[in-house]
Structure 1
Amino acid sequence: MKTIKGPGLFLAQFASDEAPFNSWDAITKWAADCGYAGVQVPSWDARLFDLNQAAESVDYCDTFKGQAAENGVEVTDLSTHLQGQLVAVHPAYDTAFDGFADPSVHGDPKARQEWAVDQVKMAITASRNLGVDQHVTFSGALAWPYVYPWPQRPAGLVEAAFDELAKRWRPILDHAEDQGVDVCYEIHPGEDLHDGVTFEMFLDRVNQHPRANMLYDPSHYVLQCLDYLANIDIYKDRIKMFHVKDAEFNPTGRQGVYGGYQPWVDRAGRFRSLGDGQVDFGAVFSKMAANDFDGWAVVEWECAIKHPEDGAREGAAFVRDHIINVTDKAFDDFASGGADDAANRAMLGLDR
């Protein structure tokens, strides 16, 4: 068993033009003051991070890490959630997702995809330069508009979508192999990789690529009514990253999983600040420890009710209290009578 590192904080939901969230120096000091030991960096946010420099310069990365260390936190990993989303975009979402990309590729899906692939590859290289061996992203989605089979899906439609998804990601995964970095897909509604079955469909198409791994976030499974504890055991060898996020699902006579197009605060399923939802984190942390997960427990704050700064401060303490310092001895060692081969054989009656 291994002890999880943490608490860490994903900075994407906090970065803004307002101090102390508008610079790397200030936001890392704030995170440390909240009780965090590490921060996960949104690679697209130029207020905090220069992805181009990080991919090209180890010196830049050393300075970046050094400033964080001076302020009391480590860099846990980089995120390309927004860029990864653009690796595969169904035309229905072209307009909505253009805002994730550089303005130079707006309105040009092919150029946008090429830009996104380059961004993810740069972030993987930057991860290596930072001395970090895992990276989190989204898979993007070509099949998501067809998630519910009405009208009936034509034969081969989903297979063609996953074939293309794998074709787009395979060069990125090969680059990750060259850099010694795991690509961890956040399994998430809105992505083609949104549950275990779809993750396996993808793995089959990239020939079980060793760099194709998973970020585990139980909140997304609560909202899908998926067994989030069994998921840990099934995919323990592929789970390389961990988002600590809470959620609740309270179906009514009027709405369920799909939420009736309601805003987050009015949905049956909604994300909550840590401790305010339904995830059994005692069981989650126990399983992660028992399965030898030794990565970071990173808080991703999302809540439609609580103020983010309150959620962040409470989240640091929540994770710290749930991390299990694993034991190096058995609880009943005090009753051990000692053992050797001769005694064991005698107890089994084998030498009579």
Structure 2
Amino acid sequence: MKMIKGPAIFLAQFAADAAPFNSLDSMCAWAASLGYEGVQIPTWDGRLFNLKEASESQDYADEVKGIAARHGLAISELSTHLQGQLVAVHPAYDAAFDGFATPEVRGNAKARTEWAVDQVKRAILASRRLGLAVQATFSGALAWPYVYPWPQRPAGLIEAAFDELAKRWQPILDYADEHGIDLAYEIHPGEDLHDGVSYEMFLDRVKGHNRANLLYDPSHFVLQQLDYLDYIDIYHQRIKAFHVKDAEFNPTGRQGVYGGFQSWVDRAGRFRSLGDGQVDFGAIFSKLTQHDYASWAVLEWECALKHPEQGAREGAEFIKRHIIHVTEKTFDDFAGSSTDDAANRKMLGLC
């Protein structure tokens, strides 16, 4: 068995204009002071990372690695969640998602998609320069407005959406394969890849592409009421990244999975800081260890109640407690005996 790496922390939710959250160097110092061993870097935040330079310059990539290393940290993955989102956007979400793109392509869906594809590809190159194996991302969504089948969906609508989604991602996946990088799609409501079935629909259309893999985040499955432990057993060979994030689901007579258009504080399903929700992380870390997941456990802080710095501080120790130092021997070895083929055959009555 292999041992999970960590703890690491996703920097996106903490980045800000004030120190120590306004540069990679100061954020690495902060993360290290809390006990983290790795950082996941959002590639869209210019305060922390220059994606264009990282994709074109080995010197810059080495500088970024050096910044993390000075603080005793590794880079776990690069994230292109926002750019991946823009690879496929239904027109209903054009205005909401336009702000994720560079100003030059806003208001132009075709140009925005081309920009997003280039961004994801640049992150693939940057990942290679940084010596990474996995890139975290979103799939984007064309079918999401039709997730609930009312009004009745016309025949072929969802199939057409997934055909187009696969068409857009196939060249990116091939490019990732050329450069030895796995894409780990975060399975997430709001994305067309939001559960196991929808992931399989996509995977079928990209012909089981070996680079079309998964980022596992159990919090999204709690809010969907999906079995997040069975999911690991089904998809463990495809799980290449792991966001450690908690959640709770407390339905009432007034609201359930859909939340009644309430704020995060007032929803039946809401994200929580580690240890404050309902996710069974002991079982998750056991399952992942059993299936030889050997990449990073990365804190993604999202909580409707707790301050992010408290969540980050508590999260490092929480992850450390749950990482299993794998055994090198079987617990009942003390009662074992040496291998003897003749004795085995005798015990079975074969001689």
TM range (shorter): over 0.9
2:206 matched to which residue of 1?
A: 206
* 1:184-223 mapped onto 2 (5 Å cutoff): 184-223=184-223
Question: What's the offset of the Cα at 1:173?
Answer: 0.2
* Structure-2 separation of matches of 1:268 and 1:65: 41
Q: Report the Cα offset of residue 346 of structure 1.
A: 1.2
Question: Whole-Å Cα distance in 2 between the matches of residues 320 and 60 of structure 1?
Answer: 31
- TM-superposed CA distance for 1:40, in Å, is 0.1
1:216-239 deviation per Cα after TM superposition (whole angstroms, max 9, x unaligned):
000000000000000000001100
> In the aligned structure 2, how far is the partner of 1:200 from the partner of 1:337?
46
- Aligned AA (1:325): H
Aligned-CA RMSD value: 0.5
Secondary structure class of the residue paired with 1:41:
strand
Shift of 1:142: 0.2
2: CA distance between counterparts of 1:343 and 1:223? Answer: 55
Write the distance in 2 (CA, Å) between the matches of 1:24 and 1:272: 26
Q: Structure 2 CA distance, aligned partners of 1:231 and 1:296?
A: 18
Match runs of 1:321-336 below 5 Å: 321-336=321-336
**Matching residue of 2:280:** 280
The normalised TM-score by structure 1 is 0.99
Equivalent position of 2:173 in the other structure? 173
1:98-247 equivalence runs, <5 A? 98-247=98-247
Give, in angstroms, the shift of residue 94 of structure 1: 0.3
Q: Which residue of 2 aligns with 1:97?
A: 97
Residue type at the aligned position of 2:306: K
Q: What residue number does 1:19 align with?
A: 19
| 1:304-315 matches, cutoff 5 A | 304-315=304-315
| Equivalent residue number for residue 301 of structure 2 | 301
- Aligned equivalent of 2:82: 82
What's the secondary structure of 1:168's corresponding residue? helix
Q: Give the match for residue 7 of structure 1.
A: 7
In the alignment, the residues of structure 2 paired with residue 266 and residue 73 of structure 1 have an alpha-carbon distance, to the nearest angstrom, of 37
Separation in structure 1 between the aligned mates of residue 337 and residue 49 of structure 2, nearest angstrom:
58
Q: Deviations over 1:126-151 (max 9, x none)?
A: 00000001001000000000000000
Letter matched to residue 91 of structure 1: P
Q: Percent same amino acid at aligned positions?
A: 73
SS of equivalent residue, structure 1 residue 242: strand
Q: Quick one: which amino acid aligns to residue 65 of structure 1?
A: K
Deviations 1:169-214 (A, max 9, x none): 0010000000000000000000000000000000000000000000
Offset, 1:244: 0.3
* Separation in 2, partners of 1:340, 1:217: 46
Q: Distance in 2 between matches of 1:343 and 1:330?
A: 22
Provide the rounded CA distance (Å) in 2 between the counterparts of 1:106 and 1:231. 37
Once residues 56 and 175 of structure 2 are traced to their aligned partners in structure 1, the CA distance between those partners, rounded to angstroms, is: 15
Runs of 4+ in 1 over 4 A off after TM superposition: none
Q: Which residue of 2 aligns with 1:265?
A: 265
1:37 matched residue in structure 2: 37
Deviation of 1:338 after TM superposition, in Å, equals: 2.0
* Structure 1 position 33, deviation (Å): 0.5
Shift in Å, 1:58:
1.2
Find the residue that maps to 1:215 and give its secondary structure. Answer: strand
Q: Deviations over 1:47-89 (max 9, x none)?
A: 0000001000111111110111111211111000000000000
- SS in structure 2 at match of 1:271: strand
1:66 equivalent in alignment to 2:98: no
Mapped partners of 1:237, 1:122: distance in 2: 26
* Partner deviation per Cα, 1:21-48 (whole Å, 9 max, x = no partner): 0011100000000110000000000000
CA distance, structure 1, for counterparts of residue 200 and residue 219 of structure 2: 20
Q: Which runs of 5+ in 1 are unaligned?
A: none
Amino acid at match of 2:312: A
Post-superposition offset of 1:251: 0.1
- Which amino acid in 1 is paired with 2:208? Q
